[in-house]
Amino acid sequence: MDLVKAPTLFLVLLSLTIWGATSAPNRGGYWPSWAQDFFPPSRIQTAYFTHIYYAFLSPNKDTFQFDIDATTASALTSFNTALHGKNPPVKTMFSIGGGSAGTELFSRMASSRNSRATFIRSTIQVARKYGFDGADLDWEYPQTQTAMNNFGLLLDEWRVAVNNEATSTGKPRLLLSAATHYKPEIYFNELCKYPVASINKNLDWINAMCYDYHGPWTPDATGAPAALYDPNGDLSTSNGLQSWISAGIQRQKLVMGMPLYGWTWKLKNPSVNGIGAPAAGIGPGNEGAMLYSEVQQFNAQNNAKVVYDTQTVSYYSYAGASWIGYDDVNSVQRKVQYAKSLNIGGYFFWTAVGDQDWKISRLASQTWTT
């Protein structure tokens, strides 16, 4: 084609190319292995996702290699067979660690070149043996700056290893991601900052866990678990995302997390029932947690009062002394619109199994892609 004679078409094609390169959405969902009996991977509606994460696998605490027993091996194979065979297919990742794995295992693993190399080799072996497209590290959280620096070294060496493996085998390069704190720094006994330069260089994206701002660990007052805005401070998704951007992360490598669950409280006085209301510990659910679908059932069965809070862009409901903070259709749509306005890489849900008839997943996907 003579582009000189078709300048308008050229500009259209150029704009589409640029838009596609910078705005291709990452629409992820974690699938917890404990959901196998009631929500197998085959039930996931892949039209609403681009990446599904198997959660979780953890390496041996002494060898830092993955010991996969026969039951787990079967589950991993079934997971990938089901999701790669879907129409449309999705990319699959196995997520390593998780909140229950703690930090000590990964701190030791990342502390020396030899243990990092052993871990890296094992991740590549697991990914190839069971058919994953990549690996996701959910280290919650590096608790010293030394651990953060070692996290950066791990990413440097992991990237080299997956590149070399792809070159030597001719296979597509494995994807690498990490689940991170909602902000690029976190305070334990000292202020710890994520190695943003290493993240930019080595990871395909990060999944910033923009939730759990309030929950059972804040038992004395209700709170918005995943507020987009915090009218009283900076404990919010907007602050987290803006902090990552200010720290220099490449926008397309920043993915916003959203919860498909809520946290519950028991109100001290049912007549005082807003966000920040005095509470006397956790409310209904599994240790105060309820899947989004369970929240909807609770609201219907108990004729709960449902409130959309415009200041935090979140929902809460209450029935008697039971109070639940969560996200629903309107707050999710507002969050996705906000994330899209920042030109970041997309969003993910913890967890894909929490939805009710896919209405949140469907809405989020439509909001981002239209």
Closest to 199 (Cα-Cα) out of 139, 144, 143 = 139
Query: Cα–Cα distance between 247 and 260 in angstroms, integer?
Result: 28
Strand partners, 30: 53, 350
- Rounded Cα distance, 368 and 347, in Å: 9
Contacts of 76 (CB under 8 A, 6+ apart): 54, 68, 94, 126, 130, 131, 132
Closest Cα partner for 254 from 188, 333, 326, 196? 196
Alpha-carbon distance of 277 to 327, in angstroms, equals 18
Answer whether 182's CB lies under 8 Å from 156's CB.
no
Could you tell me how many residues make up the chain? 370
Q: HSE on the CB side for 164, CA within 13 Å?
A: 9
From the list 140, 157, 287, 294, the catalytic residue is: 140
The answer to whether the peptide bond before residue 141 is cis (omega within 30 degrees of 0) is: yes
Map residue 356 onto helix, strand or coil: coil
Q: Is 294 a catalytic residue?
A: no
Other CB atoms closer than 10 Å to residue 255's CB: what's the count?
26
Question: What is the distance between the alpha carbons of residues 328 and 233, in angstroms, rounded to a whole number?
Answer: 23
Q: Please, are residues 185 and 194 in contact by the beta-carbon 8 Å criterion?
A: yes
Which amino acid belongs to residue 152?
G
Cis omega (within 30 of 0) on the bond before 88?
yes
Backbone phi, then psi, for 118, in 5-degree steps?
A: -60, -45
Checking DSSP bridges between strand 134-138 and strand 305-309, what pairing results, if any? Answer: unpaired
Residues noted as catalytic: 140
